[in-house]
């Protein structure tokens, strides 16, 4: 009888140890399940949700690019039009090429149509913030990062953003952002 | 023939041996005992002391909640009280009490001379007071006892002071004790039954404990693993649950409830066994649907492994998982319903008498069913999200643990105490204890359903003014219920010291091997195995 008991004892001890290990095995198992079902992933949780996006309407953006006479540059947007929700973070790109054989400094100036949309066109990053210096024959892609404020009038369905590059020679014009900075 | 004669003379010899081995007297008898009856009594006395300890905490909680605002405690001490009340009631009262019943009754019911591993049995009990000292002693340490809830969720359980380490060690020790007890019970039931006593002839109490013991050895090690991870997160720089190091606190909840849902059946299956012994005795009819009772118990145990996440509907999971855990939880109502109907069918047209054990058993059937129904309500995922962590949950689990587990323990004590002590308990006092308990218990916990539905959160010492009346009613009930347990203490002490001598059978309708023994049951029983036809 006691031999039988010892056998049962050893079996039950093995079960106990296995279940102790099972507790730890649940750790990788948990992460596998999360991965397979796509829940609880760290990347998703760290995404900041923009709650300001007005998904109830679309606005068509048109992009236009010009160079002032005398500036030997080719300048064009990489996309002509885009449909966005107001409040959405948007990035677009422009391409510029210096076709002359010497370095040139240019400054882009934006204009908006209709003009009342200008106040709602919130740029976060733009090549128009600073003068751009292009070496001879240089080709460059330049981004604009902006949000169309969701407070913009609902009857505006299309906004045109137009940039014109002006030749500012070899000396940079002091841009709006740089005003107030003392020069040496 | 010669074999039989030899065996007989061997038996005589061993009887003679025992004559010289009177148990040592005083404290050493209890410290060194390997006798299943002594160890059973130790478990039960331990559980009784812990019942009054954790019960006093509950009364302090209810006294604080008598009025809104803070009267007697500060929020931190209040949280220590709720946490310790839960931990002690589960690990220090209900589980040791059921172990006490198992130690006393399983060898007597199976016709075995003792448990399979008597020395391990001694260890399984005597490490429990050590765990209790670690738990209770932490009240005296800087920062006080653990206040993070009995479920030990991180991040609170990673952030607390020294008492959190002590509690984790106490849980390790209590788990080890349960595992040793369970191994003992499984081995005894499988290997040491009297000749002729097949598994399907065993009293249902042995069946429910056998299945409970399997649940314990399957889940207690998982809890041990979970609290070990907490311990290493706290002290050794791991990050299993520490979000700052890339861990996931929600994972703890999954691992914890993988243990803790089977645990709630560990806390109720032995109760089913006790009630299934008592109702046939006082209905004077055999248990209705014995085989279906066995299969229902096993089904509940198996299902208990796949429902754990119904405790966590509000932490976020895919809709498909919510549906799975919701329906699998509801499925448990089927085998549980089988049991309830079988108890009712056992009583149907029986020649019933209503002694105290039977009163507690009937109260168990009625009130446990209420707790079961509120459990079904909580199983509905969208409802649970509304009721999660409210007093509705508190009402639910106190109906299953107080009027379920604890009432079955009272019923079992009244039922077997005459066999254990040799004296009848005081029936008048027993009835007073029953009626005050059952009325008090309902006054405490029934209003909590309404509080929960109205949105009162649990584990908070203050509440909005509109909850005052129901809280006051609950507090009155708590003091009726709490102080009526002193009657129980008097009844047990009186019966332990003397009283009307109990007959061998004790109850007219009692069936089973334990009733063939004299009352009180001698120190050594069934040294020659009885033969069951």
Instruction: Please write the tens of the pLDDT for every residue from A122-161.
Output: 888 888 888 888 888 889 999 899 988 888 888 888 999 9
The verdict on a CB contact (< 8 Å) between B186 and A30 is no
Residues linked to residue A141 through DSSP beta bridges, in sequence order: A95
Could you tell me if A41 lies within 8 Å of chain B, comparing CB atoms? no
pLDDT, position B521? 94
Out of A8, A17, A27, closest to residue B191 by CB: A8
What are the residue ranges of helices labelled H in B332-458? 333-347, 356-379, 381-387, 391-400, 407-421, 427-453
By CA distance, what is B241's nearest residue in A? A27
Which residues in chain B are contacts of A1 at CB distance < 8 A? 191-192
Which residues in chain A are contacts of B225 at CB distance < 8 A? 20-24, 26
CB of B275 closer than 8 Å to CB of B364: yes
CB of B506 closer than 8 Å to CB of B418: yes
Q: Which residues of B touch A (CB under 8 A)?
A: 116-117, 179, 182-183, 186-187, 190-192, 217-226, 228-229, 240, 248, 250-251, 254-255, 258-259, 316-318
Determine phi and psi for A77, rounding to 5 degrees: -75, 150
- CA dist., res. B327 & res. B324, Å (int): 5
- Per CATH, the homologous superfamily of domain A59-174 is Ctag/Cox11 (2.60.370.10)
Which residues in chain A are contacts of B229 at CB distance < 8 A? 24, 27
pLDDT, position A124? 87
- CA dist., res. B179 & res. B266, Å (int): 12
CB of B192 closer than 8 Å to CB of B112: yes
- CA dist., res. A134 & res. A105, Å (int): 6
| Number of domains observed in the structure of chain B | 1
- Among A16, A17, A38, A46, the strongest candidate for a mutation testing the B interface, having the largest count of B CBs within 10 A, is A16
* CA distances to B1, B267, B393, B452, B480 from B326, in Å: 62, 21, 16, 20, 37
Out of A1, A27, A37, closest to residue B191 by CB: A1
Where are chain A's structural domains? 2-45, 59-174
| Residue B240 maps to a domain | yes
By CA distance, what is B251's nearest residue in A? A30
Could you tell me if A184 lies within 8 Å of chain B, comparing CB atoms? no
Please give the model's pTM, rounded to 2 decimal places: 0.79
Out of B187, B229, B251, closest to residue A9 by CB: B187
- CA dist., res. A84 & res. B85, Å (int): 58
Could you tell me if A29 lies within 8 Å of chain B, comparing CB atoms? no
The verdict on a CB contact (< 8 Å) between A1 and B240 is no
- CA dist., res. B407 & res. B204, Å (int): 18
CB of A75 closer than 8 Å to CB of A167: no
Secondary structure of B34-84 in HEC code, one letter for each residue:
CCHHHHHHHHHHHHHHHHHHHHHHHHHHHHHCCCCCCCCCCHHHHHHHHHH
Q: What are the pLDDT digits (tens) for A32-83?
A: 988 887 776 554 555 555 567 888 889 999 999 988 877 888 899 998 889 9
Residues linked to residue B112 through DSSP beta bridges, in sequence order: none
Helix or strand (DSSP H, E) at B233: helix B204-235
- Tokens 């209810």, located at residue: B62
Out of A4, A19, A40, closest to residue B217 by CB: A19
Provide the residue count of chain A. 184
Name the residue among B354, B350, B306 with its Cα closest to residue B330. Answer: B306
pLDDT along chain B (533 residues), means of 10: 40 43 78 95 97 97 96 94 97 97 96 95 96 94 92 92 95 97 97 94 96 97 97 94 88 95 96 97 96 97 95 89 95 96 96 97 97 96 95 97 97 97 96 98 97 95 96 97 97 93 94 93 92 83
The verdict on a CB contact (< 8 Å) between A17 and B221 is yes
Residues linked to residue A139 through DSSP beta bridges, in sequence order: A97
- CA dist., res. A145 & res. B523, Å (int): 88
Would strands A73-77 and A81-84 be described as parallel, antiparallel, or unpaired? unpaired
pLDDT, position B228? 97
| Residue B11 maps to a domain | no
- CA dist., res. B270 & res. B266, Å (int): 7
pLDDT, position B34? 93
Residues linked to residue A164 through DSSP beta bridges, in sequence order: A66, A109
Determine phi and psi for A143, rounding to 5 degrees: -95, 155
Provide the residue count of chain B. 533
Could you tell me if A33 lies within 8 Å of chain B, comparing CB atoms? no
Catalytic residue positions of B? 85, 114, 150, 177-178, 261, 263, 265, 276, 310-311, 336, 339, 458
Could you tell me if A16 lies within 8 Å of chain B, comparing CB atoms? yes
Which residues in chain A are contacts of B187 at CB distance < 8 A? 5, 8-9, 12
Would strands A59-67 and A158-167 be described as parallel, antiparallel, or unpaired? parallel
CB of B365 closer than 8 Å to CB of B275: yes
State which residues form the domain around B291.
33-516
Task: Tell which phi-psi region holds residue A77, choosing left (phi > 0), alpha (psi between -120 and 50) or beta.
Answer: beta
- CA dist., res. A6 & res. A4, Å (int): 5
- CA dist., res. B339 & res. B333, Å (int): 10
By CA distance, what is A10's nearest residue in B? B183
* CA distances to B264, B316, B376 from B383, in Å: 21, 14, 10
Angstroms from B194 CA to nearest CA on chain A: 12
- CA dist., res. B162 & res. B141, Å (int): 8
The verdict on a CB contact (< 8 Å) between B222 and A17 is no
Out of B117, B217, B221, closest to residue A23 by CB: B221
Residue pairs between chains A and B whose CB atoms are closer than 8 Å: 79
Angstroms from B188 CA to nearest CA on chain A: 8
Task: Tell which phi-psi region holds residue B499, choosing left (phi > 0), alpha (psi between -120 and 50) or beta.
Answer: left
Would strands A139-148 and A121-126 be described as parallel, antiparallel, or unpaired? antiparallel
The verdict on a CB contact (< 8 Å) between A12 and B191 is no
Out of A13, A16, A39, closest to residue B318 by CB: A39
Angstroms from B217 CA to nearest CA on chain A: 6
The verdict on a CB contact (< 8 Å) between A20 and B222 is yes
- CA dist., res. B442 & res. B476, Å (int): 11
CB of A105 closer than 8 Å to CB of A133: yes
Residues linked to residue B32 through DSSP beta bridges, in sequence order: none
């Amino acid at each position: 009888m006691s031999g039988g008991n010892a056998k049962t004892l050893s079996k039950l001890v093995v079960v106990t140890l296995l279940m102790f290990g099972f507790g730890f095995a649940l750790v990788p198992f948990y992460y596998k399940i999360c991965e397979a079902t796509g829940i609880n992933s760290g990347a998703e949780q760290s995404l900041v949700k923009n709650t300001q996006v007005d998904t109830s309407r679309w606005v068509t953006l048109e992009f236009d690019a010009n160079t002032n006479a005398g500036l030997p540059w080719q300048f064009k947007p990489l996309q002509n039009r885009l449909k966005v929700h107001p409040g959405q973070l948007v990035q677009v790109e422009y391409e510029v090429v210096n076709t002359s054989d010497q370095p040139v400094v240019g400054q882009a100036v934006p204009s908006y149509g209709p003009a009342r949309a200008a106040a709602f066109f919130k740029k976060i990053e733009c090549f128009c913030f600073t003068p751009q210096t292009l070496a001879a024959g240089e080709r460059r892609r330049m981004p604009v990062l902006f949000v169309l404020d969701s407070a913009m009038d609902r009857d505006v369905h299309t906004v045109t953003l137009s940039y014109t590059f002006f030749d500012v020679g070899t000396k940079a014009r002091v841009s709006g952002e740089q005003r107030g900075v003392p020069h040496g | 023939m010669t074999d039989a004669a030899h065996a007989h003379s061997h038996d005589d010899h061993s009887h003679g041996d025992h004559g010289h081995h009177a148990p040592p007297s005083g404290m050493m008898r209890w410290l060194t005992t390997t006798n299943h009856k002594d160890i059973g009594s130790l478990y039960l006395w331990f559980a009784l002391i812990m019942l009054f300890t954790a019960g006093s905490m509950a009364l302090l909680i209810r006294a604080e909640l008598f009025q809104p605002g803070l009267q007697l405690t500060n929020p931190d001490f209040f949280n220590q009280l709720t946490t310790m009340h839960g931990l002690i009631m589960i690990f220090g009262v209900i589980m040791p009490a059921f172990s006490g019943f198992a130690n006393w009754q399983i060898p007597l019911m199976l016709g075995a001379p003792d448990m399979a591993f008597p020395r391990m049995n001694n260890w399984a009990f005597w490490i429990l007071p050590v765990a209790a000292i670690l738990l209770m002693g932490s009240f005296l340490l800087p920062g006080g006892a653990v206040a993070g809830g009995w479920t030990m969720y991180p991040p609170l359980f990673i952030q607390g002071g020294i008492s959190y380490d002590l509690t984790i060690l106490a849980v390790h020790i209590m788990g080890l004790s349960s595992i040793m007890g369970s191994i003992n019970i499984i081995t005894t039931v499988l290997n040491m039954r009297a000749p002729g006593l097949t598994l399907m002839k065993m009293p249902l109490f042995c069946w429910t404990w056998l299945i409970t013991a399997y649940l314990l050895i399957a889940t207690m090690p998982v809890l041990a693993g979970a609290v070990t991870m907490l311990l290493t997160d706290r002290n050794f720089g791991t990050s299993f649950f520490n979000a700052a190091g890339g861990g996931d606190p929600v994972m703890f909840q999954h691992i914890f409830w993988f243990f803790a849902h089977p645990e709630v059946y560990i806390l109720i299956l032995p109760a089913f066994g006790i009630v299934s012994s008592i109702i046939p005795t006082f209905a004077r009819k055999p248990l209705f649907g014995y085989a279906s009772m066995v299969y229902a118990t096993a089904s509940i145990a198996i299902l208990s492994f796949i429902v754990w996440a119904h405790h966590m509907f509000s932490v976020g999971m895919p809709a498909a998982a919510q549906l799975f855990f919701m329906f699998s939880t509801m499925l448990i109502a089927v085998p549980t319903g089988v049991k309830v109907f079988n108890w009712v069918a056992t009583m149907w047209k029986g020649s019933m008498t209503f002694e105290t054990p039977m009163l507690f058993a009937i109260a168990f059937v009625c009130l446990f069913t209420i707790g079961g129904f509120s459990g079904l309500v909580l199983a509905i995922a969208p409802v649970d999200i509304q009721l999660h962590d409210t007093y509705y949950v508190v009402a639910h689990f106190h109906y299953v643990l107080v009027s379920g587990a604890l009432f079955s323990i009272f019923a079992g004590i009244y039922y077997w105490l005459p066999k254990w002590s040799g004296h009848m308990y005081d029936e008048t006092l027993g009835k007073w204890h029953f009626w005050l308990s059952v009325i008090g218990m309902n006054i405490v916990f029934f209003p909590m359903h309404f509080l929960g539905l109205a949105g009162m959160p649990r584990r908070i010492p203050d509440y909005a003014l509109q909850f005052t009346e129901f809280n006051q009613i609950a507090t009155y009930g708590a003091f009726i219920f709490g102080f009526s347990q002193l009657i129980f203490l008097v009844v047990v002490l009186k019966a332990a010291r003397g009283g009307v001598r109990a007959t061998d059978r004790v109850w007219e309708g009692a069936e089973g091997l334990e009733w063939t023994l004299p009352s009180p049951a001698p120190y050594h029983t069934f040294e020659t195995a009885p033969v069951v036809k």
